[in-house]
């Protein structure tokens, strides 16, 4: 076991870690390679992090793989990312299943996502749905605003059916209509690649997440960085609006 892991207080782990895996394109550019090579190089980083998460006994890990805004990229890169995600899943799902990982997807299921990708996602989610270890969620065709918009649509539909009065709407009414209402809010949100923004990730859920940014490009990220982020997290004082020593 790594010395870094032994530094962590395993009894005070964040329950849910979410990661914006960013910097693949710049990693490739730095090496004079096409952007798609950067995405490929990110695969190892992802599985090292998943492996580290399983090893420490993390409950929830969510990664941002493709945003609702990423459709604006060149068609060739979009196509690559679709196939790449399907292939990666196909390659790893049986191993993750054996390791008791529950695989999930979060995002909008719409016509732009190829049917073959949706099929693979359904298969992996169904296969692993009864597993009790890490819940590993891949945010794909995901956008925080879209998720909230979809929740509001459901809310309005319930209202129209007479199931919900306007004055009874609370933040919980919205939470209950998100894509996975059972997903706890992320305690720790990591973004690699140096940008200090959320880019439409988990907008509703990240209201009180601790943020951790690193300039490390995603393909260079590994479990040691994850441990470092969690160590920093464990030093923070989460007040949720309260004062200390209450």
Q: Is residue 24 near ligand IPE by the rule CB under 6 A?
A: yes
Among 14, 107, 193, 219, binds ligand IPE (CB under 6 A): 193
Instruction: For 21-126, list the strands marked E by DSSP.
Output: 60-67, 102-106
Is the Cβ of residue 76 or residue 129 nearer to ligand IPE in the bound state? 76
What residue spans of 21-74 are helical by DSSP H?
24-30, 35-56
Pick the stretch among 7-15, 23-31, 101-109, 202-210 that binds ligand IPE (CB under 6 A): 23-31
Q: Is 67 helix (H, G, I), strand (E, B) or coil?
A: strand
Residue nearest to ligand IPE (CB): 25
Q: What does the alpha-carbon distance between residue 26 and residue 6 come to, in Å, rounded to a whole number? A: 33
Q: Is 38 helix (H, G, I), strand (E, B) or coil?
A: helix
Q: Residue 65 binds which entry of Mg ion, ligand IPE, none, with Cβ cut-offs from 5 to 8 Å by kind?
A: ligand IPE
Q: Is residue 81 near ligand IPE by the rule CB under 6 A?
A: yes
Pick the stretch among 22-30, 88-96, 167-175, 221-229 that binds Mg ion (CB under 5 A): 22-30
Q: Is residue 88 near ligand IPE by the rule CB under 6 A?
A: no
Q: Is residue 179 near ligand IPE by the rule CB under 6 A?
A: no
Q: What does the alpha-carbon distance between residue 62 and residue 18 come to, in Å, rounded to a whole number? A: 5
Q: Which of 160, 100, 162, 159 lies closest to 135, judged by CA?
A: 100
Pick the stretch among 120-128, 163-171, 174-182, 190-198 that binds ligand IPE (CB under 6 A): 190-198
Q: What does the alpha-carbon distance between residue 166 and residue 162 come to, in Å, rounded to a whole number? A: 10
Among 25, 143, 186, 219, binds ligand IPE (CB under 6 A): 25
Q: One of 7, 9, 48, 70 is an active-site residue; which one?
A: 70
Given a contact cutoff of 8 angstroms between Cβ atoms, the answer to whether 35 and 25 are in contact is yes
Q: Residue 70 binds which entry of Mg ion, ligand IPE, none, with Cβ cut-offs from 5 to 8 Å by kind?
A: ligand IPE
Is the Cβ of residue 53 or residue 139 nearer to ligand IPE in the bound state? 139
Q: Is residue 42 near Mg ion by the rule CB under 5 A?
A: no
Q: Is 22 a catalytic residue?
A: yes
Q: What does the alpha-carbon distance between residue 246 and residue 236 come to, in Å, rounded to a whole number? A: 17
Determine the angle formed by the axes of helices 35-56 and 223-235, rounding to 10 degrees: 60
Whole-number Cα distances in Å, 228 to 2, 20, 86, 170, 239: 12, 16, 30, 37, 22
Q: One of 7, 9, 22, 110 is an active-site residue; which one?
A: 22
Q: Is 24 a catalytic residue?
A: no
Question: Applying CB under 6 A, which residues contact ligand IPE?
Answer: 20-26, 64-67, 70, 81, 193, 195, 197, 199
The residues carrying an active-site annotation are 22, 70
């Amino acid at each position: 076991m790594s010395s870094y892991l032994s530094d962590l207080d395993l009894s005070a782990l964040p329950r849910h870690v979410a990661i914006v895996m960013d910097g693949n394109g710049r990693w490739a550019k730095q090496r004079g390679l096409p952007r798609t090579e950067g995405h490929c190089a990110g695969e190892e980083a992802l599985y090292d992090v998943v492996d580290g998460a399983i090893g420490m006994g993390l409950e929830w890990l969510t990664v941002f793989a493709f945003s609702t805004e990423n459709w604006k990229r060149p068609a060739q890169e979009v196509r690559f990312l679709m196939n790449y995600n399907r292939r990666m899943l196909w390659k790893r799902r049986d191993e993750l299943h054996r390791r008791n990982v529950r695989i999930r997807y979060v995002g909008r299921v719409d016509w732009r996502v190829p049917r073959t990708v949706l099929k693979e996602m359904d298969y992996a989610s169904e296969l692993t749905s009864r597993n009790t270890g890490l819940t590993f969620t891949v945010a794909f065709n995901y956008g925080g605003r879209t998720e909230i918009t979809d929740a509001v649509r459901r809310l309005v539909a319930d209202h129209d059916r007479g199931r919900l009065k306007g004055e009874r709407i609370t933040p919980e009414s919205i939470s209950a209509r998100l894509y996975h209402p059972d997903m706890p809010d992320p305690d720790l949100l990591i973004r690699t690649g140096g940008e200090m923004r959320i880019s439409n990730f988990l907008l509703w859920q990240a209201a009180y997440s601790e943020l951790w940014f690193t300039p490390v490009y995603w393909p260079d990220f590994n479990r040691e960085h994850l441990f470092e982020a969690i160590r920093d997290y464990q030093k923070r004082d989460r007040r949720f609006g309260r004062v200390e020593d209450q």
